[in-house]
Structure formats: structure tokens, C-alpha cells
Amino acid sequence: MPLSTQSEAGDDQYVLVASLDNAKNLSNILKAITFKDHALFNATANGLKVTVEDSKCLQANAFIQAEIFQEFTIQEDSVSFQVNLTVLLDCLTIFGGSTVPGVTTALRMCYKGYGFPLTLFLEEGGVVTVCKINTQEPEDPIDFEFCSTNVTNKVILQSDSLREAFSELDMTSEILQITMSPSQPYFRLSTFGNAGNAHYDYPKDSDMMELFQCTKTQTNRYKMSLLKPSTKALALSCKVSVRTDSRGFLSLQYLVRNDDGQICFVEYYCCPDEEVEEE
Amino acid sequence: MDCMVTGGNVKVLAKAIHSLSRIGEELYLEPQEDGLALRTVNSSRSAYACFLFAPLFFQKYASGRNPTFRCKMAVKCVQAVFRSLSSLEKTVERCHIELNVEKSRLTFTLHCKHGLLKTHNLSFQDSESLQAVFDKDSCPNILQAQPRLLVDTVLHFPPSLEEVSVSVSGERVWFRNHVEEEAERSRAMLTELCISAEEFEQFAVSAPTRITFCLKEMRGLLMFAESSGLPVSLYFDEPGRPVVLSLTDSVLEVNFVLATLSEESHPQNHDNTNTDRRAQPPPPPDDFMNDDMDFLIAMETTELAAGGSGCSPPQAQDAGMSQLRTRAASEGEEEEEDGEEEAEDTGRPPNKKFRSLFFGSVLPTSSQATNQTLRSQDVLASDSEDEDPESS
């Protein structure tokens, strides 16, 4: 790797070094959570977690495990910084879209620690670009306290079918209502727009339904504007798990396969708009 | 009303709705004994479209207990039910349309693959019947062609072209873009296509004629025609009388009735006499209140009893279909007036030239007349704001 020969002697100054042969394995997944400018990066020995939040009601996380990277070296237990995600994405895609098959942008991401900028070395076809992006004070991400033990309903669907429903959702509806139940209608997405209401029902025995574990009938409403960004993650994913807990909080987990077939995860947490107790 | 559309017909229904959306903003739905009628009219009442689906088009069709039920809703809302045409035939197995009168909801239920069920509950407004009165059979000029021929012809005109002129002689048809006299001669581009009568499946011309009508509206029909593969027929008479574009097969009848420029406002080739066209201001709304019977009735429909023609006043016919006279206009439908005002500002109001025309309600036969108030004849599609409790 051409980049690894650079400044090897100075590597110990970096608390984090992460390299990828194909920068798209990072940029594509980050695009799925870019609905706000700023993102929190948290690196541990397990890998990289990028968090974006909106109005304290929505949180999106992208997980890129250490194994995805060709090189992932971390000198501390946990390294965190906040950075402008839009700028980072612009840098990662600085060589534009590559139309030549087999040619990828290689990335080496380095961070010296608190107060230092995030340094990106990007190379494609022998051309090297160095980007330094200022970092900001990391803020603690919201803890939605969503734990598996509190989950009342869970379904896993193939993304194809949910994509279709999401693309047709009535955008004049301010809320998206999700009903999950052990009985009819099993899994239902509803909108209430100017023209009237619309319902998308997925039966539990549909071949698009990979897992159906609903214990209690629950209907929750979420702001459409908050959930709209999740369609990007849906577009990238092949499967999605939808879970609600006893408080009505929503967890959407997307399984994304990157260009090399490796698995990454994106998850969205959303607060309910108002709780509607049914039956 | 309760009906079920299956298989490829779902796409036909969806295309019909998309086609109607090119003409007007509201979709009028009327379940009749002889089928389901979907109609629309444009804001200036110069274009009307009707799709009549026979009961056989449906796997199951019940027009319902109330024979006079009619409703209207925003066409965009119905379009949203059939959003992506391309995936429709792949995913939708059947479409169930059901009316729930108590809740004032029209429910479209799409049964899709993988068990997915899409339910759309649309609200509607009660409405009057929207019927254009026209009689294709009495038109002296009839052309019929495969849709491909017409599609290929209009392809030569820019998408922005508003009006097209169609001239016929005994053996040929010319399609030409209509150019405003005000347009600068140096910048105007004229495009003309000449097609021989041999290209048509039917070519009956009584006398050389030229009519000018809105191309955009015709495109709305052609869009549907192309996918259906059914031959398109054009029925027309002299300038000023509407042209009817029609498609028929055993389970479907489509009629687009478009106004044409009338004689006095129809400019000759190099004639600069801009006569009355611009000079005629819209008739003041007050006049309409007094003119209950003064409709624009193009011709009698076959449903009308002979008594119908006696009702049309001579003035209306002289006006040659070029005046907008509807109660709706007198009530000042917002969008219509806005459209007119806007149109005047730009100085190029294609729709205004085709003032509404041929709308009137289906006039009752003498036996029915006693059961209906005079007001209910004023038809068209009145607003739901009408305080008058209509027969529906």
C-alpha cells in the first residue's frame, strides 16, 4: 500500500490510524446518516462508531468494525471527536465518482488526539490529497436507554419491500404511525395526509418477513420529518429490524453490505411523538 | 360502489388516472349501471376527458344501491395510490375500490405480492355530474389512426407548444404548430407535417377544414393510447366546435373533448386582423345569473330526448362555442378566476381562447323536467360549497 510507507516513523504520534483500500466502504455508510452537519466519532478497539443526532429525538449510528479496515490502530481505550460530516464526506469523495472499474480511492485516516485536526490521506491513481479537518469538542451522545430486555415487539424485514412502502409514503402526513401486533394487522405503517389516510400492511407470514416476534399490540407515532432520513439507510441495506420497547421508542437496525461484501450496521433510534394506547 | 380490478387492468386504470391528471385537477367519479365513469375538466372548461370502464373491465363490479352517487376528489390524491406505474404490473395483483358512504371515504386497496396490502382511504366531496354534451356521430370529419402515427407526429413539436392546427383535405392531413400573430415573425418557427390519408385506418372528410386545439391535452390522451394500443379517432366539424378524440374497445370507452378556436378568432395564415379575440373581455359574471338556460351545448347526446335541442337558445349557438358560460364561473371558482387573471397578465392565454364551451348538464327529457329544479340543470360540476341540496 503506497500510503503505509508514508510517515511510518511518525505513526506513534497518532492515537488513531485507520486505513481502507476503498474509501467508499466508509463514505457510503456515512451517507446513510448525513442528515445533520455534525457527527460524533468514537473509536474503540472494536471499530468506529459515528453518531448523528437531531433535536434530541432522533439518533443515528453507523458502525464500521475494525475488521473492515485494512489497518486499524488505536493507542487509547476510546478516542472521540466531533467533526463536520459534510466536509468529511466531501473529502472522502474528493476524487469524484470513479467510473473505471477496479480503481478505488485509498484512505488513511489519522488523528493525533484532542485539539488536533483529523488528517485524511487520500490516493487514487497515484495522486495523493491530504485533508485536515478541524475537530470539535465531543459531546456525549444521548442514551436512549433502549435495551433488548425491554423490547416488546420485533420484526425483521427484507429491505426491498420496506423501501417500496417508504418511497410511497404520503409526505403531507406529519407523522408516521407504526402498529405492531401479534394479531391483524401484524405490522402496519400508516400516514394521515391531506388526501386521507393510507396503510401499508405486512402480514406475519409474508416471505419478506424474516422474523416476527410481537408480544403486545402497540401503536406509536413518530414525526415523519425525523424518520425521513432513515430512507437513505434503507436504500443501502438488505435487511432491517424494527423494534419497539415498552415506552414506544423505535429502533431501526439496518444491515448494510459494503462493496466488498462485508457487513456494517446502521441504526436509528427515535422517540415517539405521542403514545397511543390501543386495545 | 364496490369493484375489483385485476391483473393488467390495474395498470390500465392507473394510466387512465395519470392521463386525466394532465387535463384537470379534480377527478369526478361516477359509478353507473353501465360502468364506472372517471371524468375531469380543466379549469377553463375548455377540455373534458372521460374514461368509461364497462362492468366487464372489472372482475367484480357493483355500482351500488344509490344510482345517483357521484363524487369528486383531487386527482393528485388518486394518483398517489398508483404511484409508480412501472412497478405496478410487477407488484400489484388486484385493486379493490370500495365506497364507504357513512365515513365519506373511497377506499382503494391494493393487494400486492408477498402479502403486502396497501390501503388508501381517500376523502371525497359530493358533486354534480360532470358531463360534456357532444355527439361524435354527427361530426362530418372522422380520422382514425393507430396511436403510434399520432405519437410520432406530435413528437416533432416542442413540448412547450400549446396549440396545434390540424387541416384536412380530401386526401391529406396537415399538422402544424399554431403561432400567435403577436409572435415576432423573425423568431417564429413553423413546423408542418403532411400525412396521407392512406396512413389512416379511417379517413372521412366532408369538406376541407382546419381546426386548432390544445396539443398538451391531446398528449394526455396519446399517453394512454400508446400503452393501450387502441386506434385513436378524431371527430371534428368546423372551427369553434369541439374536437373529440376517442378510443374504444369492448370494455373501455375514452373520450377527450377539446375546444377548438372559433372562426372569428381563428387567424388565417398571414392575416393580421386580430379582430375580436382579445377585444372580447370575459362576460361579466352577473350575466350568468340571469341566463340559466344559456349553455353551451355543442350537440345533443344520444341520451337526450329530442326536446333537448329546443332548449338551446340561438345566442349560444351563434357564439360558436367560444364563450365561457358556466355557473361555476359565476360563482367565481378560485382557481378559474386566478387562471384567467394570470393568463391575461402574460398576454398569452391559450385556454381563454377556448372559452368553455360545451358544457351543460344533460338536459332532462320533458318527463324528467318536472322532477328537477331549474337550478339543477346548470350543471357541470358545481362546487361543493353549493348550499343547494342537490339530488345527490
Q: Quote the minimal CA–CA distance from B86 to chain A in Å.
A: 12
Beta-bridged to residue A110, according to DSSP, are: A17, A119
- Of residues B364 and A5, the one with the higher pLDDT is A5
Q: Which residues of B touch A206 (CB under 8 A)?
A: 114-116
Evaluate whether B357 touches B296 at the Cβ level (below 8 Å).
Answer: yes
Contacts of residue B373, defined as CB under 8 A and 6 or more positions apart, other chains included, come to none
Does A165 lie at the interface with B, CB-CB under 8 angstroms? yes
- List, in order, residues 6 or more apart from A272 with CB less than 8 Å away: A220, A221, A222, A247, A248, A249, A250
Q: Taking CB atoms and an 8 Å limit, are B77 and A198 in contact across chains?
A: no
Contact flag A202-B115 (C-beta cutoff 8 Å): yes
Across B348-364, b (16+ Cβ under 10 Å) vs e yields: ebbbbbbbbbbbbbbbb
pLDDT digits (tens, 9 = 90+) for A220-273: 999 999 999 999 999 999 999 999 999 999 999 999 998 888 999 999 999 998
C-alpha cell belonging to residue B379 = 350543471
CA distance B316 to chain A (A): 38
pTM as predicted: 0.74
* Closest Cα in chain B, distance from residue A139 (Å): 42
Burial B59-75 (b: 16+ CB within 10 A, else e): eebebeeeeebbbbbbb
**Residue B356, pLDDT score:** 52
Mark yes or no for CB contact B117/A200 under 8 Å. yes
What stretches in chain B show pLDDT beneath 50? 266-352, 360-392
**Mean pLDDT, residues A202-223 taken together:** 93
Q: Do A198 and B120 touch (CB under 8 A)?
A: yes
Q: What is the DSSP-derived secondary structure letter of residue A148? A: G
Inter-chain contacts counted by CB atoms under 8 A, chains A and B: 63
Q: Once rounded to an integer, what is the mean pLDDT over residues A92-117?
A: 86
Q: Which residue type occupies B379?
A: V
Q: How confident is the model at residue A72 (pLDDT cuts 50, 70, 90)?
A: very high
What proportion of chain A, given as a percentage, has pLDDT over 70? 93
What length does chain B have? 392
**Residue contact A195–B76, C-beta within 8 A:** yes
So what's the pLDDT on residue A201?
95
CB contact under 8 A, A198 and B91: no
Chain B touched by A164 (CB under 8 Å):
yes
Is the Cβ pair B80, A164 closer than 8 Å?
no
Residue B307's CB is within 10 A of a number of other CB atoms, namely: 15
A88-108: average pLDDT:
85
Q: Chain A contacts of B76, Cβ < 8 Å?
A: 195
Cell 392565454, located at residue: B349
In this complex, the residue of B84, B116, B119 whose CB is nearest that of residue A161 is: B116
Residue of A nearest to B124 (CA): A195
A76 touches chain B (CB under 8 A): no
pLDDT digits (tens, 9 = 90+) for B244-300: 999 999 999 999 999 998 875 544 443 333 333 333 333 344 333 323 222 333 322
**Binary contact (B120, A196; C-beta < 8 A):** yes
Q: Quick check: A206 contacting B, CB < 8 Å? A: yes
Looking at the complex, does the CB of residue B73 fall below 8 Å from at least one CB of chain A? yes
Tell me the C-alpha to C-alpha distance, in Å, between residue B199 and each of B167, B233, B254.
15, 13, 22
C-alpha cell read off for B116: 403486502
The pLDDT value recorded for residue A98 is 65
Q: What is the pLDDT of residue A276?
A: 52
Nearest residue to A168 (alpha-carbon basis) of B112, B213, B30, B385: B112
Cα nearest neighbour of A184 on chain B: B117
Would you call A196 and B122 a contact, using CB atoms and an 8 Å cutoff?
yes
Q: Do A195 and B84 touch (CB under 8 A)?
A: no
User: Tell me, what's the ipTM?
Assistant: 0.84
Three-class DSSP category at B373: coil
The grid coordinates of residue B129 equal 355530474
Q: How many CB atoms lie within 10 A of CB B255?
A: 21
pLDDT of residue B100: 84
Chain B contact probe: residue of A179, A188, A201, A204 with most B CBs at under 10 A: A201
Name the strand (E) or helix (H) holding A236. helix A230-236
Could you give the 3-state DSSP secondary structure of residue A129? strand
CB contacts of A212 in chain B (<8 Å) are: none
Q: If you write DSSP's letter for every residue of A243-265 in order, what string do you get? A: EEETT--EEEEEEEE-TTS-EEE
Per the CB < 8 A criterion, the answer to whether B45 and B359 are in contact is yes
How many angstroms separate the CA atoms of B340 and B280, rounded? 13
Per the CB < 8 Å rule, is B115 touching A199? no
Mean pLDDT over each residue of chain A, to the nearest integer = 89
Tell me the β-bridge partners of B214. B163
E strands, A85-208, where? Answer: 106-111, 118-124, 127-133, 135-136, 151-158, 175-180, 187-192, 196-202
**Which of B116, B118, B120 is closest, CB to CB, to A206?**
B116
**Is B116 within 8 Å of A199 when comparing Cβ atoms?**
no
Question: How far is residue A16's CA from residue A80's CA, in Å, rounded to a whole number?
Answer: 10
- Cell 415523519 belongs to A224
- Chain B CB contacts of A170 under 8 Å are 80
**Four-residue CA torsion sign, A191, A195, A196, A200:** negative
B120 CA: distance to closest CA in chain A (Å)? 4
Closest chain A residue to B108, measured at CA:
A198
